[in-house]
Structure 1
């Protein structure tokens, strides 16, 4: 590989498992890892023949894998329910059999937004929905790490990325639904614990959050598209700080390509923060830092606009 090719494809020869890659941030992280040259195993529950409880049939893991390949990587779709240890173990065994290594584990499993009931006390929410969120946001992540890390630590330098909603600092603010609050706070502690457990193997673990994410579901909620998303700002002024899923995808790709990423071990970071550290931008050329915007302007009362944080 030439020096130019190596710069364009810094993850060539690396193998990633993106758990929960059907849509949104998970899909974008898989695609951007592929764009950097990685082989990416994309897992999820919605396929072209089966739809998960999320109920969005047009977004499939097969399409994600095709996008990874189109971006320059090698995308491999594997239908997986990460709450089933046997299925996760089978995925890892397949990665080992076909690739012989695992360099990057992205733990993005979620799929619980449809269960959310905001501004209700714990005794008012549907407890079965709350417990399901905990299963999706905590149990699935633990099962995935349990099954995948023996392969990842076989070679030094592995990276584990716990994906959540909100930085550790941001999540000091109550998230409006107790099970959701717990599910989105737990990955920070998981990353902290995994950072300790991976140290002796030369591995790095951290948690990352997108900002105000323009996911497919969020765009549908506002009745806009990626091309017309600014039309939603009148309805929701804070949407002006929104970012495309590509931003967190580029953040994870930059972290994976950073030989000095151990400095982030155990940290809680955001896509906007990483954009400024590594110098990449969103698809429109901006660097939206939603976490700083919410900290300073929304909660801190600073006289500023979203434009000041892009």
Structure 2
């Protein structure tokens, strides 16, 4: 590896600005925490001029794709409202093919997968994209195997990710791949995010599959629970945080979620633990600690209750099981 890890982000008019900001921002933070070699991020477009994101914010400091030369560590193609036009731009596709041949790895965020597919870089590969566009991707490019469930997929040296903020999960995975889990955790901590979600975590979790609760107290507490699994999430602690009585909190959860606060917490912890078991080699005791369970045995009981399976069987399953409806 040279003195820097060169990353070229390929953009176009009406690209999603978060698809640019998440990777570049996380890599900047990795550099500030001692990434060695550090990342050197470049933004490039066909025309090489300041480009307009889909939000209307202009992106400057842009290079012309045809002028990008030499070896690269990573080429990353963004998505956004302009993807349809970008996937039909032969000038862009020609440069994407050229740069892919000069890159150690290739990646896309969200609908950027359409650009890689149009360039012929995804044939006979398993990929993902934003769940709302997965059927269109599969129909448009039948040689590509589309899996709409995971947050990101690695197939050889090609990484594809789901919608928008999954760009952060993808980038943290790249940082961990390059520099190890300690640096990835430091970056996640500075970004105030819950480490990085495993690749096979569903784009739509148990708590997003149904319409979100209309009650602000319940909605805020669901977000708090998901981000603080190892903290005190007992009904009295949650009630104190929300400024309501424990009895009233139970009424709110039952009315808006059909579940008690304690059962909701257990489901969130168990779902997070299941993803860790399936995406890492961590022993069950370590998974239990990271997800707020008192012991590995308590976690085993939760797995059996929620999925009807042991931790070992969960680890061997090819796909994430559905919770048992009780």
Give the TM bin, normalised by the shorter chain: 0.3 to 0.5
Query: What's the TM-score once normalised by structure 1's chain length?
Result: 0.39
Query: What's the TM-score once normalised by structure 2's chain length?
Result: 0.37
Q: Which has the higher contact order (CA 8 A, sep 6+)?
A: 1
